[in-house]
Chains A and B, each alone.
Chain A
């Protein structure tokens, strides 16, 4: 264990730890980025479907026969 704290070795250990932490953070960010984009896509799709239908009016012309 003591060998890990030697001046010549400790700097490599520190670099390895920093790299592992960064790779962990990077992997997490990639995942959360993809999930956030997917979520946005879903919400936008739902919003589109949830749009209230355009009001429609049917006009019927009635003619009365006057005899």
Chain B
């Protein structure tokens, strides 16, 4: 009975993932500024979340191992860490493809890219540690302790660091309001120069003409031979009107607030993809994708854990 249920669950997973692939290409709509690249969110974000869940599960098994000293718990911790690393690589690669389409480069050393690379290195060190110690009991003990510390860094590297950083192009606002989505403040009479991503912006003027409040902002970017000038504006109701594109990029400058009397503005770089999930079709496919990738990771974990358990059993038998 249990076997039949497990088989049905696997077939359902296969069909669900096929459905997600179909929906990703043919149900999810295109997005202004992103085109077809916006579809990658259906794979990219779930893989990143599965990564964090797998690393957390791995740390739980490591804690249990330190209490029980059971080889099977150690094997489970390794299996979960491996699945986490695999999905972390998926998230990095899909993110990199997105970056190429939207930012024009596969790797930009954006805080988000850098932090996920550091996370990969932290877990690469976990596997290196395991393979560098010969004594089995010592190896398992050291690896379990290291794994707990590695997991502590994970939420910081995945969720905190990229949002604390002043200059990320990653569209955080697609999912969470706040963080660094509030942009930077410039003051004609004070700090009139600021940085958005690797773009230096300088406020030249802010004035109201007719119904529009317009800011004149000079932009200096790497690779740009001449400084460019952008004029984002707000309409009479205080909502962004003109959102000019940064030269040679597909992200835009948006004016969030402006006070012409005080000579202050708040500007931000709006990455394409902001507000992506406000579309219902995208939202439901996205949620289904999270669930499906979660079950896929669980299945992969079980397969890998079974193999490692067998290996641990054989190791124990040989030791006797």
Which residues of chain A have a CB within 8 Å of any CB of chain B? 11-12, 14-15, 18-19, 22-23, 26, 29-30, 32-33, 36-37, 39-40, 43-44, 47, 50
Given contacts A18-B25, A33-B299, A43-B314, 11 further A-B contacts (CB under 8 A): A11-B26, A11-B36, A15-B21, A18-B24, A19-B21, A22-B17, A23-B18, A29-B300, A29-B303, A40-B306, A40-B310
> Are A36 and B22 interface neighbours, CB within 8 A?
no
Given contacts A22-B21, A44-B313, contact A36 B307 (CB under 8 A): yes
Least CB distance from B159 to A in Å reads 28
A interface, over-half SS? helix
B309 at the interface (CB under 8 A from A): yes
> Are A36 and B310 interface neighbours, CB within 8 A?
yes
B155 at the interface (CB under 8 A from A): no
Given contacts A26-B14, A40-B309, A43-B314, contact A33 B303 (CB under 8 A): yes
In whole angstroms, how far apart are the Cα atoms of A33 and B6 in the complex? Answer: 11
Nearest CB in chain B to that of A14: its residue: B25
A-B contact count (CB 8 A): 52
Given contacts A18-B21, A18-B25, A22-B21, contact A47 B313 (CB under 8 A): yes
Least CB distance from A44 to B in Å reads 7
Nearest CB in chain A to that of B14: its residue: A26
Residues of A within 8 A of B314 (CB): 43
> Are A37 and B299 interface neighbours, CB within 8 A?
no
The contact sample of 18 A-B pairs, CB cut-off 8 A, is: A15-B25, A15-B26, A19-B18, A19-B22, A23-B14, A23-B18, A26-B17, A29-B299, A29-B303, A32-B303, A33-B299, A36-B306, A36-B307, A37-B306, A39-B310, A40-B306, A44-B313, A47-B317
